[in-house]
Amino acid sequence: MKTIAINQYGSADEFTMVDMPTTEPQADEVQVAIHAFSLNPMDIAGRMGALSSPFTDLWAFPLVLGWDFAGVITKMGKAVTGFNIGDAVFGSAAPAHAANNGTYGEFITVNTKELAHLPAGLSFDQAAALPIAGLTAYYGMKHNLKLQSGQKILVQGGAGGVGLFAIQIAKAFGAYVATTASANHRDLLTRLGADEVIDYHETDPAAVLHDYDAVFDTVGDIDTGLKVLKADGQLATIAGQPTDEQQHDQQKKVAFQFTQGSSQDLADLAQLVVSGQVKLTVATLPFSVANVIKGHRSIESRHTTGKIVIHVTD
């Protein structure tokens, strides 16, 4: 199969087209022909050699990066139930996977726990944008912050891959949503439902927002989030490690959140997209080394808008 791989850790220029063997499915696994995959900041960390165990346990060079994918099942292990050859599916590969089993290629082999069926009304390109960013936001709102209708939440970094999901999911849950972004993103975020958009280059959110029930931090600015929070509010950060001091600020609950979420959460999130409550902002690029490099450089700029998807096949 064709893959876009690296032969050593380094800059985005390391990517090259490499022919690699496909992986045969184990009893509880399926092989999927990838129609689209999306890029995440975690891919950049992997490329630079900044990830460690468990991510890297099975890695070798050439290394195929990438976790998010959507495609069609081509082979099945004997113990698989609930899925069939020809099913359209999407999901995220296990954190630790073999060097030739990342998503930047034509096939991937995954456990069915990592899969959901593609619902009618969702394209492969759209579905590939959901798993890591969408689930992180969905898990944050639903299971971690347990956001309730009428509560006030600040989403720090509303225009990014995770942030755009977070503000819309929070709105779908009935919350009042403030968010931070650069000025060029104000119109988009307002259109997607944000009640207040704060240009963080000009205004300190802590100067204008007070007594918030919840903060979802996607940029690693925990101190600002804490100042916005009410005395017993809750802050979830996906981009910083809270210090002891930050964790013991009044009665606030402050914690780092890993990407979590079940196939059911992924299916529920997909329904929010199909129903139009969550709109996707996706830049879709054809499968090529140049486009993977372009996507990585864009994410490294820290100012991408929404998700970058690589379209592999129709």
Ligand X SMILES: NC(=O)c1ccc[n+]([C@@H]2O[C@H](COP(=O)([O-])OP(=O)(O)OC[C@H]3O[C@@H](n4cnc5c(N)ncnc54)[C@H](OP(=O)(O)O)[C@@H]3O)[C@@H](O)[C@H]2O)c1
Which residues of the chain form contacts with ligand X (CB under 6 A)? Answer: 40-42, 132-133, 136, 156-157, 159-163, 180-182, 185, 200, 218-219, 221, 238-239, 257-259, 299, 302-305
CB of 259 to ligand X, least distance (A): 4
Least Cβ distance, residue 106 to ligand X (angstroms): 24
Q: Which is nearer to ligand X, 23 or 136 (CB)?
A: 136
**How far is residue 244's CA from residue 15's CA, in Å, rounded to a whole number?**
40
Which residue number, 23 or 305, has a Cβ lying nearer to ligand X?
305
Residue placing its CB nearer to ligand X in the complex, 216 or 287: 216
Which residue's structure tokens are 């007594």?
Answer: 211
- For residue 286, whether the previous peptide bond is cis, meaning omega lies within 30 degrees of 0, is no
User: Is residue 152 left, alpha or beta, with left meaning phi > 0 and alpha meaning psi from -120 to 50?
Assistant: beta
List all residues 6 or more positions away from 52 whose beta carbon is below 8 Å from its beta carbon.
none
Query: Which residue's Cβ has the minimum distance to ligand X?
Result: 160
Question: One-letter amino acid identity for 252?
Answer: K
Least Å distance between CB 219 and ligand X?
Answer: 4
**Shortest gap between Cβ of 192 and ligand X (angstroms)?**
13
Q: How far is the CB of 26 from ligand X (least distance, A)?
A: 26
Name the residue nearer to ligand X (CB basis): 108 or 299: 299
Strand order of the sheet with strand 16-19? 16-19, 2-6, 63-64
Q: Which is nearer to ligand X, 210 or 302 (CB)?
A: 302
Q: How far is the CB of 51 from ligand X (least distance, A)?
A: 11
Tokens of 300: 């490294």
Question: Tokens 């993103």 sit at which residue?
Answer: 185
Which residue lies nearer to ligand X by CB, 24 or 204?
A: 204
Q: How far apart are CB 303 and ligand X at their closest, in Å?
A: 4
Cβ closer to ligand X: 28 or 195?
Answer: 195
Q: Pairing state of beta strands 68-76 and 29-38?
A: antiparallel
Q: Where are the alpha helices (DSSP H) in the chain?
A: 41-47, 124-128, 131-139, 161-172, 186-191, 205-208, 222-228, 244-247, 263-274, 289-300
Q: Report the amino acid identity of residue 225.
A: G
